[in-house]
Amino acid sequence: MTMAGRRKHLEMSPEALELVASRFRVMAEPVRLRILQMLESEGELSIGELTESLGLSQPNVSKHVKILIEAGLVARRQEGNTVYCTVCDESVFKICDVVCSSLRDRLTAQSAVLERTRARR
């Protein structure tokens, strides 16, 4: 695709770019992506349920959940001593879908090149 055919994006201030980069840093951690994936598929889960399913320590899971909450991706509610989490910004899954689709396309193209190379041998 030529530069002229690409979608134009608004120019962003350095401050706005830092906010975008911050969101990507939050999502750059596999444990946090796993938490988001679990919350998407299971709905609301407690920290204990997340801890058990992930096979990680409770302090480690709580640390990652706190980061997701601070980023505005996850909401929490407390019932007695139990903290429950849920996804509050569904746009995170659109971002993941775009990245996964791009990776799938890239891997498919690479696979086709490998197959052609093997066929020539």
Inform me whether the pLDDT recorded for 10 exceeds 50: yes
User: Are 28 and 67 in the same domain?
Assistant: yes
Better pLDDT: 97 or 73: 73
Residues 20 and 44 in one domain: yes
When divided into structural domains, the chain yields a total of: 2
Co-location of 104 and 65 in the same domain: no
Q: Are residues 94 and 83 in the same domain?
A: no
Question: What is the distance, to the nearest Å, from the Cα of residue 57 to the centroid of all Cα atoms in its chain?
Answer: 21
Residues 60 and 83 in one domain: yes
Encode pLDDT of 26-75 as tens digits: 999 999 999 999 999 999 999 999 999 999 999 999 999 999 999 999 99
Asked whether residue 38 is assigned to any structural domain, the reply reads yes
Say if residue 84 is exposed, middle or buried (CB neighbours under 10 Å; 0-12, 13-18, 19+).
Answer: middle
Does 6 map to a domain? no
What's the half-sphere exposure (Cβ side, CA atoms, 13 Å) at 39? 28
Residue at 4 is within a domain? no
Please give the structure tokens belonging to residue 25: 């840093």
94 lies in some domain: yes
Tell me, yes or no, whether 28 and 55 share the same domain: yes
Same domain? 95 vs 82 = no
Domain encompassing residue 82 = 14-89
Please tell me the pTM assigned to this model: 0.78
| Residue 95 located in a structural domain | yes
| Same domain? 56 vs 104 | no
Are residues 60 and 119 part of one domain? no
